[in-house]
Amino acid sequence: MFTSTGSSGLYKAPLSKSLLLVPSALSLLLALLLPHCQRFFVYDLQAVKDDFQIWRLICGRIICLDLKDTFCSSLLIYNFRIFERRYGSRKFASFLLGSWVLSALVDCILVEAVWYSFGITTSRNLPSGLKYSLK
């Protein structure tokens, strides 16, 4: 017989809950109510490199600018709640931070390597959101 042990939903997963609510709410707000402000959250590595706009690197990796990306990110974070429960919030947060920094570094290195090797300038705006950081 099935008994509820509290392992369903976001029980004992505060980081997953906050990552599910805050970026999703910001993405919905930007997509529906403030579409003219989306240009401030574009993940533009050229602006980060040339104008030292570090906030684009941070916001572009967290906030999705498209609703379908927001939905996919939400599904990914919701499924990652299992890892947070298993390893604890602190270890899970360190894993997320490490993978976020590593993926941002790889983005920068790959864009520069493609430019130096082939002379190809990739698109200025890379995909934004959590799902690209956690893959």
Tell me if 4 is assigned to some domain: no
Q: Across the strands, what pairs with 43?
A: 126
Buried b (16+ CB within 10 A) or exposed e, 80-94: bbeebbeeeeeebee
| pTM listed for this prediction | 0.75
Least confident of 5-9, 40-44, 73-77: 5-9
Say how many domains are in the chain: 1
Tell me if 9 is assigned to some domain: no
pLDDT score at 94: 95
Tell me if 87 is assigned to some domain: yes
Tell me if 126 is assigned to some domain: yes
What mean pLDDT value characterizes the chain?
82
Q: Which two tokens stand for residue 59?
A: 């916001």
Domain residues for the domain of 106 are 14-134
Tell me if 6 is assigned to some domain: no
